Structure 1
Amino acid sequence: MKIQSASARLYRVPLAQPVSDAAHGIQTHFELIAVRVTDEDGVQGLGLTYTGGSGGLAIVSALEGGLLESLVGKDADLIELCWRDMWRAMHYVGQGGVVSFAISAIDVALWDIKGKRAQMPLWRLLGGHDGHVRCYAGGIDLNFSIEELLAQSEAFRENGFRAIKMKVGRPSLREDIERIEAMREELGEQFPLMVDANMAWSRMNALRAAKAFNPYGLTWLEEPVEPRDYASHASIAECGLVPIAAGENLRNFSEFKQLIDTGRIGYAEPDVTNCGGVTGFAKIARYAESHSAITTSHGLHDLSIHLLAAFPGTDFLEVHGYSLDAFLSRPLRIVDGYAEAPNTSGHGIELDWQKLERHAVQG
């Protein structure tokens, strides 16, 4: 079925409270870019990507500067062909970055159409492995006091979470240790606890942190160094002190291949909204599984749940702080640490456009 039209719109969504990490500082909002693709029968697919607060206009520019127009008249069912055509058309100006965000949003919309036409949920359409997906609460909390951190932890558990990630990368390692120690004492030894440094350290400081964190039985240490410093990832991983997770800042399969092969990570963390969409995520997840790395997720949990449910070798859906719950007809529910992948056609994300329109950036 041919594509009849495609459009994009940018929104600036306020956060319920300011949050902070080592890379981005204080954040008060995030940007949401929504792409809608419609075929000749009127079936519409929704694609989404987002930013941490800036850069959204550049993504919209990439979309409206040719990518959306190039879709019109193409067969919406030939997603791999559309994906490759977009990459080839844009490869000289960027095999990642803004281009990857834009292509990812389009790709997600095309898969949504495919699922709706097949009357299948996305995770089953992709192969279907296990719709019962383990989750963790992704705290963005570097600026929180220990008291606030523990209060947030209690709220997470009351809301059904049985695994939590906290931020590290405070001005001194001692502060990080005190915070982890407080969390571990609060949660108990067996409760899965992850920490995320958001690229805060050099290799030497990351090794020091990994050694200092070792007694606390962490599930993983995330992004200890710059994302494409594969050699440093390998040095930290090979110490065997704590499993390493990384990948949210990588934008294509080749980068993930290097991270897995050279960086020796335990957990690959693609974000479906910027790693090449559903098509890109699937390539990464299959490669990770074949090389003994577990695939987890980053961002937009209402969509990412389909990817973790679709493939073996996956674990721990991140329920992210950039939440769309206020605009969703069916927000994700967490019960005793798990969520169920939706069984509606496509990805099943239905937004309240009237409510979201209050946050629109451009006409």
Structure 2
Amino acid sequence: MRIVDFRITRFQFRRDRVIGDSQVRADDVHLATLELIGEQGAVGLGFVQSLFHPLASEAELARVFREEVWPGLENEPAGAIAHRVHRPRGGNIRRLSVPFEEALQQAVWDLFAKSVGMPLWQLLGGRRDHVRGYASGLDFHLPDDAFLALFETARSQGFTAFKIKVGHADLDRDIHRLDLLRKAVGLGAIVMIDANEAWSPKQTIANLEAMRRAGHDIFWVEDPILRHDFEGLKLLRQCAGTTMINSGEYLDASGKRQLLEAGGADLLNVHGHVTDVMRIGWLAAEFGVPVTMGNSFLEIGLNMAAALPEVNWIEYSYQNFDHLVETPFAIRDGHIWASHAPGHGLVLSEDARRDWHHPEIVDKGGLGDAPRQIYLG
């Protein structure tokens, strides 16, 4: 199926809660959808997100896409684009002016899967249609009552594994949040923590030991130290006892390869770039390192998680995006279930296109509130 046209729709709205970690916070959603249109009318959907700052106007987004991306897509078969290997050199090694890269991979693979009438997870080689999820709060800036409500909701949905944000300047606050988590989800739950590079290697060991003394066994610690400190990550693997080191979130494909070669990960964290995730997932399998699927927009990474070997976990972080698509992926018994429809399974809602479409930048005071998640009432 050849790609004959494209459409970009810009969205902007308030989040239903502040999200963030020990380093950053975000209150609003800055988003655009990229739809690649095939010659027979099928549509491949991808998501462009700017976490902290508004995207440019819709007209400017379309202009940049037409100038920087479209010449390499027009009248090309979606399957050929999906499998094409690029070797940029010199000044061609650069990011696009707008972060279209992930959306482009999503949309191309969605259209390719539709062209052959297969769910994406099957096209990628998957033989299962669900992956165990862990509930992730992005909760560093939440007050205690909202923190409790979020994880109580997660427990009620059948989740048995939970990840919280740590890395506060006062370790007692991190331990307090672990105490609250146990209150919300009960004993016996699997507990992960994410420090977002807040610590040094020695701090990490000391903090994990303090958490153990307080009665908290940590299944994995995610990104405890600087992303390129491969020696430090390797040291932590040797000294953290039964706690596993989950790293690689902030690294590109090349950096993840270096991390694997350095022995700096018990678990490799990947996200929503379809082609890149599959390539690095295959490499991780060669090293015998399991992959975990971190945050991907509306859990689109489920397709890759279901296809790669040894992916036992996918992150679910309660971001209020469900209203943007016709049918989000189902959550049952703490697992996230893939769609059996051709493509990656997400279709842009025409109601969302009507109600949340903002072609121009909107001042913060003029943003509308998106539907609220159930845990916030």
Instruction: State TM-score, norm by structure 2.
Output: 0.84
Aligned residues: 353
Structure 1 residues 206 and 263, CA gap change in structure 2 (3 angstroms)? farther
Check if 1:50 corresponds to 2:49: yes
User: 2:91, 2:119 → 1: CA distance?
Assistant: 31
CA offset digits 1:222-243 (Å, max 9, x no partner) = 1112222222222222213321
Alignment of 1:123-272 (within 5 A): 123-184=121-182, 186-214=184-212, 216-241=216-241, 242-251=243-252, 253-272=253-272
CA RMSD of aligned residues (A): 2.6
User: 1:260, 1:138 → 2: CA distance?
Assistant: 25
Letter in 2 for 1:309: A
Q: Is the 8 A contact 2:155 2:185 kept in 1?
A: no
User: 2:97, 2:225 → 1: CA distance?
Assistant: 24
Q: Is the 8 A contact 1:250 1:256 kept in 2?
A: yes
Shift of 1:359: 4.2
Residue in structure 1 matching 2:347, options 337, 347, 350: 350
2:74 corresponds in structure 1 to 72
Structure 1 residues 90 and 192, CA gap change in structure 2 (3 angstroms)? farther
User: 1:165, 1:189 → 2: CA distance?
Assistant: 15
Structure 1 residues 53 and 196, CA gap change in structure 2 (3 angstroms)? same
1:31 corresponds in structure 2 to 30
Shift of 1:2: 2.6
SS in 1 for 2:163: strand
Letter in 1 for 2:19: V
CA offset digits 1:296-346 (Å, max 9, x no partner) = 112224311111111221011111233321222212222221122110100
Structure 1 residues 101 and 232, CA gap change in structure 2 (3 angstroms)? farther
Instruction: State TM-score, norm by structure 1.
Output: 0.88
Task: Flag structure 2 segments of 5+ consecutive residues without an equivalent.
Answer: 362-377
1:281 corresponds in structure 2 to 277
Shift of 1:57: 3.9
Structure 1 residues 310 and 90, CA gap change in structure 2 (3 angstroms)? farther
Structure 1 residues 10 and 209, CA gap change in structure 2 (3 angstroms)? farther
2:39 corresponds in structure 1 to 40
Q: Is the 8 A contact 2:56 2:360 kept in 1?
A: no
Q: Is the 8 A contact 2:18 2:142 kept in 1?
A: no
Task: Flag structure 1 segments of 5+ consecutive residues without an equivalent.
Answer: none
Identity %: 25
CA offset digits 1:208-261 (Å, max 9, x no partner) = 22332345222211111222222222222221332111233223x211111222
User: 2:357, 2:17 → 1: CA distance?
Assistant: 17
Structure 1 residues 99 and 266, CA gap change in structure 2 (3 angstroms)? farther
Shift of 1:186: 4.6
CA offset digits 1:41-64 (Å, max 9, x no partner) = 222211123232327449947634
Letter in 1 for 2:274: V
